[in-house]
Amino acid sequence: MSAPGLRVERDEEAGVAVVTLDRPHRHNAIDLDTAARLTAAWREFRFDDAVRAVVVTGAGDKAFCTGIDRSAEVPQPSSPYAIDDPLVAIGPKANDLWKPVIAAVNGMACGGAFYLLGEAEFLVADEHATFFDPHTTYGMVSAYESIAMAQRMPFGEVARMSLLGTAERLSAARAHQIGLVSEVTPQGGTLAAALDCARIVAGYPPGAVEGTVRAVWAAKEAARTQALAHAPHLIALGNLPPEQQAGLFGKRAGDFRIR
């Protein structure tokens, strides 16, 4: 299953798979091929009884994922009532996978990374990891991302992160304080910590584990589904045209504060 952009490794004895975004030269930003491979990986795990838990991470130590690769060209339908989002199906829940997924956040996580983080059971983060949402800075609506984070962060924290854009980054320590991250590890220890958890869970009866995952998600599923139904319309109404977005991106400033 491994291919350029995505690496999948299995420990069949432990029942654990590791999915690694493998584009460190692009801060593990997701191009269209990698998006398709992520979708295929989650769907394949549904049929692989040897995989009972999954860890998702990014290659290198700079970034977990920085969302969609800005060089990707995404054709859009001409209808104002439709929008194609290349990341909408990159997460496990979007592909009906109810085996537990643990995210090992090893650096920057921003924008479209929340499609993955929002569909993981819990997050483990390196002490130097940071979280932010750049959409508003570049004239884009944060819809799917903020909805995903609203399922696991206090309202005010989601609103602050979504609205302040690139001006502020959430530290791993602060993310732990507000419940976004369940464990902060010393630098370089995130993947090992996530694997320790995955191996424990994979050792339990899979029916009980998957049923528990499904029950936890059911607690917020109705509100999440209703919110996501609004996302395409909000994006269509609020996004600047692509050329104006590109102009703002080209003028981006490098300064930010970490909270």
For 202-218, what is the mean pLDDT? 96
In a domain, 196, yes or no: yes
In a domain, 127, yes or no: yes
Strands (DSSP E) found in the chain: 5-11, 16-22, 53-58, 63-65, 101-105, 108-110, 122-126, 130-132, 168-171, 183-185, 257-258
In a domain, 57, yes or no: yes
The pTM of the full predicted model, rounded to 2 decimals, is 0.91
pLDDT of residue 29: 94
In a domain, 102, yes or no: yes
| Residue 124 clears pLDDT 70, i.e. is over it | yes
In a domain, 123, yes or no: yes
pLDDT-based confidence at residue 226 (cuts at 50, 70, 90):
confident
pLDDT-based confidence at residue 80 (cuts at 50, 70, 90):
low
pLDDT, tens digit (0-9, with 9 covering 90-100), for 125-155: 999 999 999 999 989 899 989 999 999 999 9
In a domain, 60, yes or no: yes
Per the structure, the complete domain to which residue 147 belongs is given by 5-202
Q: Which residue has the higher pLDDT, 79 or 189?
A: 189
CATH of the domain at 86: 3.90.226.10
In a domain, 236, yes or no: no
| Residue 121 clears pLDDT 80, i.e. is over it | yes
- Total count of domains within the chain: 1
Mean of the per-residue pLDDT values of the chain:
92
| Residue 251 clears pLDDT 80, i.e. is over it | no
In a domain, 222, yes or no: no
